[in-house]
């Protein structure tokens, strides 16, 4: 199954309208307006064009996975040898809370998780999508190169890649003001917003080469060596500018032999990184400013507590 969002965010609010602010389909020529910084006092939807400045989820996260296998190797769904893989790009509110499934007219997720807009029984149901997978939306717009890239670097564990892309789009992309359909104007072509989101995620991902950044500090996947959280955070802070969130799974440190008697219950197997940033103007334009994580790592903090495992033989593609 798709992995669940676990930390980062502290509150849920639900909404399910066709447009976050009911913008008009006209007049979104963003080069004509100032590129205000998201989460600044100027990023106010009452006074700026919310298609041109992110005014809804102004705290952005580009999230990546470190998986050791996909479960779909027989389908050719492999992991790129020298890269982490794309999870998505999320629009948290400036205070770190977030919404999800904000536009049920753009629901392309076959396995909604959670299955209501607020994750509670009283939320609006998010109905599983049964149409052609979201990957098929790229061909009519001629974006075969983007699709090929996504199949190399945006890899799902436990489901076909396109199901995962549909999940990420419908759960998260629909909660950006700047990817709202009216922002694309009167000449909007069906699914242009989807393609624009995918290429924007890829734009940020390509700037955030986690594998190489850790490697530059001597931190490579290993099934024989372990690492210390502080060293990994320091390495990424050195390269990125601020401290991203590192997520770990695996056994809690104090349930392992090495961590017996410890009060450190953090995870011991590195699996995720979330880079936080604000943007000037549209996120699409890539003018980002790194910011620190809002919470703290789920990984164990004890020296040498973290495994950054090698991928499984047979799960890796070399390109």
Annotated catalytic residues are 87, 168, 172
For residues 52-71, which are near ligand NAG according to CB under 6 A?
A: 68
Binding mask 268-307 for ligand NAG (x = CB under 6 A): ------------------------x---------------
Q: Please answer whether residues 319 and 80 qualify as being in contact, where contact means their C-beta atoms are separated by less than 8 angstroms.
A: yes
Q: Which of residues 120-139 bind ligand NAG (CB under 6 A)?
A: 120, 122, 125
User: Footprint of ligand NAG on residues 193-252 (CB under 6 A)?
Assistant: 223, 242-243
d(C-alpha 37, C-alpha 245), whole Å: 22
Kind and range of the H or E element at 151? helix 144-153
111 binds ligand NAG (CB under 6 A): no
Binding segment for ligand NAG among 19-27, 75-83, 136-144, 183-191 (CB under 6 A)?
19-27
Question: In angstroms, what is the minimal distance from the CB of 288 to ligand NAG?
Answer: 14
- What distance lies between CA 142 and its chain's CA centroid? 24
73 binds ligand NAG (CB under 6 A): no
| 113 scored as a contact of ligand NAG (CB under 6 A) | no
Report the distance separating Cα 90 and Cα 99, nearest Å.
10
Residue the block writes with tokens 């495992």: 309
* Residue among 43 and 162 whose Cβ is closer to ligand NAG: 43
Q: Write the CA distances from 206 to 41, 113, 156, 286, integer angstroms.
A: 30, 27, 18, 11
Q: Is 81 in the site for ligand NAG (CB under 6 A)?
A: no
Nearer to ligand NAG by C-beta: 145 or 257? 257
Q: In this complex, which beta carbon is closest to ligand NAG, that of residue 78 or of residue 147?
A: 78
For helices 192-206 and 144-153, the axis angle rounded to 10 degrees is 50
**Residue 309 Cβ vs ligand NAG, minimum distance, rounded to whole Å:** 4
Residue 172 buriedness (CB in 10 A; 0-12 / 13-18 / 19+):
buried
φ/ψ (deg, to 5) at 194 = -65, -50
Q: Which of 206, 205, 221, 217 is nearest to 61 (CA)?
A: 205
| Chain contacts with ligand NAG (rule: CB under 6 A) | 10-11, 13, 24, 26-27, 68, 93, 95, 97, 115-116, 120, 122, 125, 223, 242-243, 254-255, 260-261, 263, 265, 292, 309-310, 312-313
């Amino acid at each position: 199954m798709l992995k669940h969002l676990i930390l980062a965010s502290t509150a849920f609010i639900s909404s399910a309208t066709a447009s976050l602010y009911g913008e008009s389909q006209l007049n979104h020529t963003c080069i004509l307006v100032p590129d205000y910084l998201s989460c600044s006092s100027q990023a106010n939807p009452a006074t700026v064009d919310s298609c041109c400045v992110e005014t809804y989820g102004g705290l952005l996260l580009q999230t990546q996975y470190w998986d050791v296998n996909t479960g779909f190797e027989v389908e050719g769904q492999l992991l790129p040898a020298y890269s982490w893989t794309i999870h998505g790009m999320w629009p948290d509110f400036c205070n770190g809370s977030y919404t999800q499934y904000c536009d049920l007219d753009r629901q392309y997720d076959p396995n909604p998780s959670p299955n209501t807009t607020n994750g509670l029984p009283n939320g609006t149901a998010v109905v599983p999508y049964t149409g052609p997978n979201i990957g098929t939306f790229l061909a009519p717009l001629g974006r075969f190169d983007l699709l090929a890239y996504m199949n190399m670097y945006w890899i799902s564990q436990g489901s076909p890649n396109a199901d995962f892309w549909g999940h990420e789009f419908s759960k998260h992309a629909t909660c950006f003001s700047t990817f709202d359909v009216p922002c694309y104007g009167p000449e909007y072509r069906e699914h242009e917003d989807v393609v624009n989101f995918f290429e924007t995620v890829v734009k940020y991902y390509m700037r955030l080469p986690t594998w190489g950044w850790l490697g530059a500090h001597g931190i490579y996947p290993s099934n024989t060596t372990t690492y210390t959280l502080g060293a990994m955070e320091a390495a990424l802070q050195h390269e990125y500018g601020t401290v991203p969130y590192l997520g770990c799974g695996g056994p809690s440190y104090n349930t392992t032999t090495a961590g017996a008697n410890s009060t450190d219950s953090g995870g011991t197997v590195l699996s995720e990184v979330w880079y936080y940033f604000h943007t000037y103007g549209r996120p699409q334009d890539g003018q980002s400013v790194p910011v620190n994580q809002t919470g703290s790592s789920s990984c164990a903090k004890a020296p040498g507590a973290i495994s950054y495992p090698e991928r499984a033989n047979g799960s890796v593609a070399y390109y």
